[in-house]
Amino acid sequence: MWNQPAYLLSGGQMKLVEIGRALMSGAKLLLLDEPVSGVNPTLAHEIFSRILKLRDELGLTFFIVEHRLDVALKYVDDMFVMALGRLIASGLPDEVMNNKKVIEAYLGG
């Protein structure tokens, strides 16, 4: 991947390049909007694993907007859920996923 033109990279590899570009800014907090959208599950887990490694090794904070909870839940420390533009729950992933408001908003209760 290191010496390939960007147009030859897969969607998942492009996501890693995008994260790398963001890191070059020197920011201590990065906002990532759906970093695993359209990426196969194996690479999605690899992307989140690399995000955790960056967090731990460089002391960075990541604020991630992600709809693929099947992947993201394994990696997050805290979680926020919005519905209709309002925050309806926040906390540890297990607490939030069992929150009555979250269940009603996303599963119809």
Read off the pLDDT of residues 55-78 as tens digits, 9 standing for 90 and up.
999 999 999 999 999 999 999 999
Of the candidates 18, 34, 57, 66, the residue annotated as catalytic is 34
Quick one: pLDDT at residue 14?
86
> Closest Cα to residue 76, out of 103, 95, 104?
95
34 is catalytic: yes
Residue boundaries of the structural domains of the chain = 1-75, 78-109
In degrees, rounded to 5, the angle at the alpha carbon of residue 55 between the alpha carbons of residues 50 and 61 is: 125
Query: CA–CA separation, 80 vs 54, rounded Å?
Result: 21
Alpha helices for 6-99 (secondary structure H): 11-23, 41-58, 69-72, 93-97
Q: Which CATH code of 3.30.70.141, 3.40.50.300, 3.40.50.150, 1.20.58.190 fits the domain covering 1-75?
A: 3.40.50.300
Query: CA–CA separation, 75 vs 92, rounded Å?
Result: 11
Lowest mean pLDDT of 5-14, 37-46, 62-71, 78-87, name the range. Answer: 5-14
Mean pLDDT of all residues belonging to the chain: 92
Section 17-37 average pLDDT: 93
